[in-house]
Amino acid sequence: MEQVRLFFRKIGNIRYISHLDLQRTMSRILMRSGLDIAFSKGYNPRPKLAFAVPLSIFHESEYEILDFKLNTDTAAEEIGEKLRNLLPQGLEIFRITEPKEKISACRTARYRLTMTTSKSADEIRELLSGEIKVLKKTKTREEECDISPQITDMYFYERDGFVIMEATLESDNANYLNPNYITAFLGDNIDYCLIRRLCLYNSRGQPMT
């Protein structure tokens, strides 16, 4: 294959690096891998990389996607062999394929929010049952808006002393909802929250491929 799609996890302490740092890390790994990477043109050529929905700092993920291009046809097994030993702890490739759809086809993302709180799962559900008004930042201003229409579904349960919420949020370029807005709305009702992305879905509600 020449058009390559990596599916990988970002788990553990590596959640403390930003999306920009992740881009730099993956770029360096590809350049060190020995693969015949396609570079951009111009005075400062770099590997041609395209990520799906950027992951916020402090968030983990079980379903990240990176596209890049090779100049020569290369088997998935060889690509994996050359990349896996270069990955830092916390990054794990679990699938290598040719893209079946554009990376911009992502429409929603599934998240798990694991919360430390004195509230029960039912109480957290009740807090989020109506309008969820938060201050959202744009490039030019902040404005209060109700983010509840951007939440496709929510599911709550308790496990090992934590309240856990799983939710599907809009994630396309025009209507991206960062799960941090949910924790901002809950405010002092929670003490701590670990956010993990579980999957990315296309317009048909199917996992991105």
**What pLDDT was estimated at residue 44?**
80
> Has domain 105-201 been given CATH number 3.30.70?
yes
Given a contact cutoff of 8 angstroms between Cβ atoms, the answer to whether 91 and 21 are in contact is no
Is 3-99 assigned to CATH 3.30.70.580? yes
Question: Is the whole-model pTM more than 0.85?
Answer: yes
Kindly report, residue by residue over 181-205, the tens digit of the pLDDT.
999 999 999 999 999 999 999 999 9
| Distant-in-sequence, close-in-space partners of 117: CB < 8 Å, separation ≥ 6 | 124, 163, 189, 190, 191
H or E, element range at 9: strand 3-10
Q: In this predicted model, what pLDDT tens digit does every residue of 78-137 receive, in sequence order?
A: 999 999 999 999 999 999 999 999 999 999 999 999 999 999 999 999 999 999 999 987
The span from the CA of 26 to the CA of 106, in Å, is 21
| Burial class of residue 130 in the structure, from the number of CB atoms within 10 Å of its CB (0-12 exposed, 13-18 middle, 19+ buried) | exposed
In the predicted structure, residue 17 carries a pLDDT above the cut 80: yes
Ordered by start, the domain boundaries in the chain are 3-99, 105-201
pLDDT of residue 157 exceeding 90, the answer is yes
Q: What is the DSSP string of 107-138?
A: -EEEEEEEEE-SS-HHHHHHHTSS--EEEEE-
- DSSP, collapsed to helix, strand or coil, labels residue 75 as coil
